[in-house]
Amino acid sequence: MKFQIISHMTTLCNYDCSYCDVDKDGIFISLKTRDDIIDFIKNNRNYIERFKFFGGEPLLGFQHISHIIDATSMTLWNNFEIVTNTSLLSEKVCEYLERYFSHIFFSIDSENDFSFERVLSFIQKYNLETKLHFNLVISPWKEEEALEQFNILYDEGMRGFNILPVYFTQVWEKQNLENLWKLMKYILDISLSDSTLRLYGFQENSWENTSLANNTIFIDVYGDIYYSDIVTTFMWQILKDKLKLGNIKYFDLQTLEHYDFSMQKKYISLLEKKNYDTVKWQKQLHKIMDYFSEYLNKKNG
Ligand code: SF4
């Protein structure tokens, strides 16, 4: 069994999205944790499928990212991933994205400046499109802007999209859900006539599994290892102790091959169920996403 590793480079972000629940206390990985990550990758190379740089905004710690890649690229060749808000893209960053990364996620929403011209010029110059997905974040009252962003990117030839409505915020209203439904239908209808359009981010969205990705392990800025990246958010910090698996300094991924995660899954399910039942319009929001998820899964075979 191989694992996807998600590694927090920093809790800091240069944006301040209204829906963001990440605890942005401004901590970066230390030089020691950086070196521990390098050892961890080398020692566990047979058990790592992909290694994802995450934040906050991970490119605020690009010096750590480039150092880790320089030291481990022969071990994990072309199996790096990143999620970034695109604001810190540069020639140097894009050289690394082109050379070493298998998947790139550009998160865009309607609250922050997104420089289409600048980002598109990087994508073209460094041939990033085939491994690029846009995380199209849809927050309440911003559905029209999300549609506009999709149309601009689609017209520019971009074809990879994760559709990500913001979950567990009290701000959704009935009108927003109707707008979301129309937006989803519009995009899915296009995908029916354009087989090159790659849509993700649906899976099953019932309360049992919104926070889980299979075989994924999360490393925080201190090198502590958790069952899920949900521990980075305020809402889920209550589960931190229960989801902790150890520290990279002493960790052997092989020990997780036959590990029974049922307790961790149970804790997450209980809290998700509670939020699902108490946060306004969540049932309806999940229903919409489940409907399109099923549709998309059938379409993708
Ligand atoms: S870009 Fe991401 S991490 Fe930064 S504030 Fe927005 S949602 Fe939070």
| pTM across the whole model | 0.93
Nearest C-alpha to atom 8 of ligand 1 is from which residue?
20
pLDDT tens digit string along 262-298? 998 898 888 888 888 888 888 889 888 888 888 877 7
Residue 223 Ramachandran class (φ > 0 left, ψ -120 to 50 alpha, else beta): left
Which amino acid belongs to residue 284?
Q
CB of 113 shorter than 6 A to ligand 1: no
pLDDT of residue 78: 83
Atom of ligand 1 at shortest range from CA of 85: 1
CA of 259 to the centre of ligand 1 (A): 32
Domain that residue 222 falls in? 3-299
pLDDT of residue 21: 85
CB of 165 shorter than 6 A to ligand 1: no
CB of 13 shorter than 6 A to ligand 1: yes
Secondary structure, 3-state, the chain: CCEEEEEECECCCCCCCCCCCECCCCCECCHHHHHHHHHHHHHCHHHEEEEEEECCCHHHHHHHHHHHHHHHCCCCCCCEEEEECCCCCCHHHHHHHHHHEEEEEEEECCCCCCCHHHHHHHHHHCCCHHHEEEEEEECCCCHHHHHHHHHHHHHCCCCEEEEEECCCCCCCCHHHHHHHHHHHHHHHHHHHHCCCCEEECCCCCCCCCCCCCCCEEEECCCCEEECCHHHHECCCHHHHHHHEEEEHHHCCHHHHCCCCCHHHHHHHHHHHHHHHHHCCCHHHHHHHHHHHHHHHHHHCC
Residue 215 Ramachandran class (φ > 0 left, ψ -120 to 50 alpha, else beta): left
CATH of the domain at 119: 3.20.20.70
d(CA 90, CA 87): 9
pLDDT of residue 201: 65
- Structurally, the chain folds into a number of domains equal to 1
On whether the CB atoms of residues 168 and 279 are closer than 8 A, the answer is yes
pLDDT (mean) for 184-204: 84
Which amino acid belongs to residue 217?
I
pLDDT of residue 207: 45
Min mean pLDDT across 21-30, 190-199, 222-231, 288-297 is at 288-297
d(CA 85, CA 115): 11
CA of 200 to the centre of ligand 1 (A): 20
CB of 15 shorter than 6 A to ligand 1: yes
CB of 166 shorter than 6 A to ligand 1: no
Bigger pLDDT: 113 vs 221:
221
Atom of ligand 1 at shortest range from CA of 19: 7
Rg (CA), the chain: 19
Nearest C-alpha to atom 6 of ligand 1 is from which residue?
17
Q: How many CB atoms lie within 10 A of CB 182?
A: 13
pLDDT of residue 212: 47
Atom of ligand 1 at shortest range from CA of 137: 7
Pocket probe for ligand 1: among 9, 11, 17, the residue whose CB has the most ligand atoms within 8 Å is 17
CB of 235 shorter than 6 A to ligand 1: no
Contact partners, residue 83, CB within 8 Å, separation at least 6: 52, 53, 54, 55, 58, 105, 107, 135
